[in-house]
Amino acid sequence: MADEPLVLGIETSCDETGVGIVRGTTLLADAVASSVDTHARFGGVVPEIASRAHLEAMVPTIERALKTAGISARDLDGIAVTAGPGLAGALLVGVSAAKAYAYALNKPLYGVNHLASHICVDQLEHGPLPEPTMALLVSGGHSSLLLAPDITADVRPMGATIDDAAGEAFDKIARVLDLGFPGGPVIDRLAKEGDPKAIAFPRGLSGSRDPAYDFSFSGLKTAVARWIEAKRNAGEEVPVRDVAASFQEAVVDVLTRKAVRACKDEGVDHLMIGGGVAANSRLRALAQERCEKAGIRLRVPRPGLCTDNGAMVAALGAEMVARNRPASDLDLSADSSLPVTDPHVPGAGHSHDHDHVHEVSKENLYP
């Protein structure tokens, strides 16, 4: 619909420069420039390298998104950007770019939360989110269970990892197995050829006295690494496919079990799964199986929308515009530890007046 908000979103919380454009809940463009190959030889993301890559990719990626969407930057109703959480330097590049575009175009600016954006992106594939929404977010930096009565204003943490995130554990085990970085995709692929019951790896925080919704993957990671080390020290061949399958099963078993429990306890009849690890095929399959058994509807975006992208930021920005949420001030700062309870960063006094934005000569600046 032409009267729905047209918003550009910028995501730079880690190693992907993502720019998305949405109209309401319709995705018009999703441009991504990733620096993951540059980080691979270091075995993980190097913040300084990521920040420099964002600087180089920002303008070309925005121009590519505008061209794909077939719009002019002047047509936009707002600019949304990930204000946190994430890598401080990487966030600063995105926030600075968003402020520059908002200023030059005289458009409202919305600094939004990375985790809330991961939830909101599902609207682009499956329509408006139910309220409340129960979301399981799993990535290299986060493993969280969240209840969102209102994705723009009310997101409540139910549980989170107390140590390693799920995606981080995948990367570390892949490194131990000499499988390279990132570890999630290759472990997923090898696990399909292995036996998930071959090795009884531990399920963290799954005892009757443990927190109901919190996660722990550090103990699992250590147990797998020690099992592999013992095999190598004994001169035995490590069954890589069985290790991958058994490790992966231990992770997704705990994730899905706790997510379904949270839905039941809160009386929520649906579950949304997002974040990079949501692209894992076994996580999707086991979640579907357990949700069907519990009478819960499962919503999982396609893999391309699960990893970090600008479309998710634009989706949340469009929702902010649609619900008349206050825009951010042009002195918006990046916050590497922005709490999930803050879906966005409103301006001072919860109001925003663009009349103070000075007009600049920009006829030749933006298409």
Q: How far apart are CA 82 and CA 92, in angstroms?
A: 9
Structure tokens at 205: 């925080």
Of 130, 86, 155, nearest to 308 (Cα)?
86
Does the annotation list 113 as a binding residue? no
Does the annotation list 137 as a binding residue? yes
Residue appearing with tokens 């699992």: 220
Residue appearing with tokens 């330097």: 89
Does the annotation list 280 as a binding residue? yes
Of 142, 153, 165, 157, nearest to 85 (Cα)?
142
Does the annotation list 15 as a binding residue? no
Does the annotation list 171 as a binding residue? yes
Is the backbone peptide bond immediately before 47 cis, with ω within 30 degrees of 0? no
DSSP character at residue 327: P
Strand partners, 30: 20
Sign of CA dihedral 65, 70, 73, 78: negative
Amino acid letter, residue 68: T
Torsion angle (degrees, nearest 10) of CA 252, 258, 264, 266: -130
Does the annotation list 114 as a binding residue? yes
Instruction: Convert 185-197 to b/e letters by CB count within 10 Å (16 or more is b).
Output: bbbbebbeebebe
Does the annotation list 140 as a binding residue? yes
Q: How far apart are CA 148 and CA 152, in angstroms?
A: 9
Structure tokens at 86: 């994430």
Amino acid letter, residue 13: S
CA angle, 101 then 65 then 117, to 5°: 75
Ordered strands of the 78-84 beta sheet: 26-34, 16-23, 6-11, 78-84, 109-113, 344-345
Does the annotation list 309 as a binding residue? no
Does the annotation list 9 as a binding residue? no
Does the annotation list 86 as a binding residue? no
Other C-beta atoms lying within 10 Å of the C-beta of residue 12: 36
Annotated binding site for substrate: which residue ranges? 137-141, 171, 184, 188, 280
Which residues sit in the known binding site for Fe cation?
114, 118, 308
Annotated binding site: 114, 118, 137-141, 171, 184, 188, 280, 308
